[in-house]
Amino acid sequence: MEHVVAKHGISERLACRVLGQHRSTQRKKPTRPDDEAILTADITELAIQYGRYGYRRITAMLRHKGWRVNAKRVARIWRREGLKVPSKQPKRGRLWLNDGSCVRLRPEYPNHVWSYDFVEDRTHDGRKYRMLNIIDEFSRECLAIRINRKLKATDVIDALSDLFILRGIPTHIRSDNGPEFIAHNLRNWLSAVGAKTAYIMPGSPWENGYCESFNSKLRDELLNGEIFYTLKEAKIIIEGWRRHYNTIRPHSSLRYQPPAPEVLQWPSAQPQPASPAIPALATNQIVN
């Protein structure tokens, strides 16, 4: 541009208008921050490690690692490196009644509404195993994932009893109408301990949206990319993913904070060693 202006004697304003360029492009040379290469490497590393995360969740994880970066810069590097953004889940409607009311029990505080559901998968030998996922809908925390080849109503009671002892009894428990959840012994036990059941309408999985969303993340981010050769291996890896989901993985509905981040306790003051006792003989000598 400078060569054209100097050779033909035309103004910079006219040359930019003819070429369709903004005048600031001729005065400010584009620069790249010094930390661009390091930031690109960290973004690529996180994208490889968490292949189903988008650039917004990666931005949150970068900030947790100490980067002071906004989502626009990460998105620019994301597009430049050709990284793929996961496809979005389709939106689903609510269940509306004839009188215009909406059937939806919304969680208002921790331990208000829990929900649980079953997810099935197979080990490498083709044998099926089941997972009972229990979440707190308010905090989005996955409270437990019970895994076994077969899970019945008694196993549901066993998993819930352990959680009731550790976390208290929730006000409501939401589930579908599966045979394990509507069993008489489970319903009688929940009524005895004081927890109310909230069953969704048959054929309406979107009413249990919190648990369905968690199930899809579990399958998309872990089950679809792992081969489990034994049930023991599945239990260990899935439990590790559950802890990562609760303590590290940024959740979009929680402003990209994990549901239950680990809290580092400040080390308490160490007790000072007691002064050595003075022998009685030495004491007598000092007094004398």
pLDDT tens-digit map of 42-63: 998 888 888 778 888 999 999 9
H-state helical runs in 182-230: 184-193, 209-221
> pLDDT, tens digit, for every residue of 197-251?
988 887 778 788 899 999 999 999 999 989 999 999 999 999 999 999 999 999 8
Per-residue pLDDT, 81: 84
Band the pLDDT of 33: cuts 50, 70, 90. Answer: confident
In our burial notation (b when 16+ CB lie closer than 10 A, e otherwise), range 208-237 reads bbbbbebbebbeebbbeeeebeeeeebbee
**pLDDT given at position 279:** 44
Residue 181 CA to chain centroid, in angstroms? 26
Tell me how far apart the alpha carbons of residues 143 and 3 are, in angstroms, rounded to a whole number. 68
Burial degree of 268 (CB within 10 A; 0-12, 13-18, 19+): exposed
Position 282 scores a pLDDT of 44
Q: Which amino acid is at 274?
A: A
The amino acid that residue 35 corresponds to is: D
- Name the pTM for this structure: 0.65
3-state secondary structure of 91: coil
Query: How many angstroms separate the Cα of 172 from the Cα of each of 19, 133, 190, 191?
Result: 66, 16, 10, 11
Burial of 110 (0-12, 13-18, 19+ CB in 10 A): middle
Contact present, 235 and 148 (Cβ < 8 Å): no
Task: Kindly report the average pLDDT of the chain as a whole number.
Answer: 82
Confidence (pLDDT) at 185: 92
Tokens of 126: 């083709």
Q: Measured at the alpha carbon of residue 147, what is the angle toward residues 143 and 149, in degrees to the nearest 5?
A: 160
pLDDT at residue 102 is higher than 90? no
Q: What are 126-167's pLDDT values in tens digits? A: 999 999 999 999 999 999 999 999 999 999 999 999 999 999
